[in-house]
Structure 1
């Protein structure tokens, strides 16, 4: 039996996430306090009290989601007396969640992770002028059909796959005109496509200025060998090589999140238990939609944490 921990990305945030951990367990409170200190602002106030418009901002959502995931990880480590390599075999995270995965696997420390996500979120937000880019969810269109469609559109304007989540759910990103054109063609083909309410066109080459800033930041950051293999978004392959990790984090900014391939790899690696650590259940729901054949769990609150710890101790 093998276990994987997975960590959510932007879109999973909600007001009050992690508050029950903060109120009841010291490791969680300490985690939130460290991140507040590093960022030099009370991010916890926004996480616990809102308003939702503030939490949804990229510059708040990214470090906030990492804070919740790491609070849970630090509780689990304190309660079990074990490091991650005694609890699971692999880790992966969706977009910003990859930073949570790396932090949990002791590849990047908490303070550095918070600093990197501050730079990442700020630079991504600033990379593209408002109104220039857009994103859309493409529903039920086959991947190859979408790839061919985008090849034609790309001859005229920028448009690419941002997140290949699961079969039937692919996110595209690019210039507004190109995205609107793609939506129109996808609908004409009889599939569904919806413009997303996002602050910037993530995971496409419009993020090049952010990629350049993250390259500088990651070059200065200390990245250690993780204690378990991390399956990275850019390659959908496991690695413990710090140089590979650094390079793929840079390329991830403009590159595709290969989540469908990551989930297929879990099955190929005989991962029989996948645990989503953090706010929401977006990633677990994806696994349910593809009928992942093994055990799925969430740790979002005290009750789910207790259930997880009870099962470990059996």
Structure 2
């Protein structure tokens, strides 16, 4: 696209778009919408040309879909395809954008900060570096449900003190839902401690322990690629994972993307920030509805709407256009 991704005249006053991260992928994603909107496959073709392999085939067949280096560009492309369909149908430009982990890159493309071609190359590299940073089987992640943030941090510190290695809070997803990441033995130790404290602990089916200090070697290499990539300030504010704030300049934006690899995703604070800014409507621009389900927990979010099927897209368009006063 020659125009900025986020350029649309009807700017929203109480709508935010949120973009999902790894784990939201599913075989056959966007197939239904692709039958009606040629821009879906055109977006995948554009991204595939940039990375040199067929992202649409991976998305539709599932072959390689759960390999991090492929998952990340496929998901980003799916999110941007949905974003383009939204604009094609006359959807309003949101007041804010935010993305969970990988989804932050999707948000930056939608905001015109990164080109789609540059973004898919970056996240393909990001996935490779993350996979290479920790040998297979030596890292893990788990969701801890039913404890407050401080207690989870305390259990991580307790487990880390008991031997070589570490485990940290990786994703603050919602009140009572924190994902931990680190060396496999230490993640398992936190799971056991959590259960002793009456919580649920669920091992996540991932091969990479994201958003913890084990990713620092990957971050150092990734920073070099970011420096060589053309990035401009977003034309829609993008709320960053590491601090739940919008970047003040491009240098701060690059630093936050680097730090995001080894620091916690502050998603609870991000959603709270959006709510505090008067956002009442949230659209999840990517496969599935994981993030919209989290957003529904907030008292002032009136509607949280996924966009990944024709009926969901139509529902979100009508609901948000009415809410924003664009149609009666």
How would you bin the TM-score normalised by the shorter chain? over 0.9
Q: Do the aligned partners of 1:134 and 1:173 also contact (CA within 8 Å) in 2?
A: yes
| Aligned match of 2:180 | 172
Paired residues, what number? 308
How far is the alpha carbon of 1:31 from its aligned partner?
A: 0.6
| Aligned match of 1:68 | 78
Q: 1:263 to 1:310 in 2, by over 3 A?
A: closer
1:122-161 matched pairs, under 5 angstroms: 122-155=128-161, 156=163, 157-161=165-169
| Aligned match of 2:14 | 2
Deviating beyond 4 angstroms after TM superposition, the runs of 4 or more aligned structure 1 residues are none
Q: Do the aligned partners of 2:113 and 2:231 also contact (CA within 8 Å) in 1?
A: yes
How far is the alpha carbon of 1:291 from its aligned partner?
A: 4.7
Deviations 1:207-257 (A, max 9, x none): 122111210110101111101111000111123522111110000001100
Using the size of structure 1 for normalisation, the TM-score is: 0.93
| Aligned match of 2:60 | 48
Query: Are 2:243 and 1:252 equivalent residues in the alignment?
Result: no
The DSSP-based 3-state class of the residue aligned with 1:56 is coil
CA distance in 2: counterparts of 1:310 and 1:195, whole angstroms: 38
Q: Do the aligned partners of 1:103 and 1:113 also contact (CA within 8 Å) in 2?
A: yes
How far is the alpha carbon of 1:47 from its aligned partner?
A: 0.4
Q: Do the aligned partners of 1:21 and 1:29 also contact (CA within 8 Å) in 2?
A: no
| Aligned match of 2:245 | 237
The DSSP-based 3-state class of the residue aligned with 1:271 is coil
CA distance in 2: counterparts of 1:310 and 1:193, whole angstroms: 39
How far is the alpha carbon of 1:304 from its aligned partner?
A: 2.2
Query: Are 2:26 and 1:26 equivalent residues in the alignment?
Result: no
The DSSP-based 3-state class of the residue aligned with 2:98 is strand
Query: Normalized per residue, which structure has more helix?
Result: 1
Q: Which moved more, 1:228-237 or 1:18-27?
A: 18-27
Q: Do the aligned partners of 1:230 and 1:240 also contact (CA within 8 Å) in 2?
A: no
CA distance in 1: counterparts of 2:300 and 2:143, whole angstroms: 22
How far is the alpha carbon of 1:25 from its aligned partner?
A: 1.3
How far is the alpha carbon of 1:193 from its aligned partner?
A: 1.2
CA distance in 2: counterparts of 1:215 and 1:256, whole angstroms: 17
CA distance in 2: counterparts of 1:177 and 1:29, whole angstroms: 42
How far is the alpha carbon of 1:310 from its aligned partner?
A: 4.0
| Aligned match of 1:79 | 89
The DSSP-based 3-state class of the residue aligned with 2:182 is strand
| Aligned match of 1:112 | 118
CA distance in 2: counterparts of 1:223 and 1:231, whole angstroms: 16
Q: Do the aligned partners of 1:138 and 1:169 also contact (CA within 8 Å) in 2?
A: yes
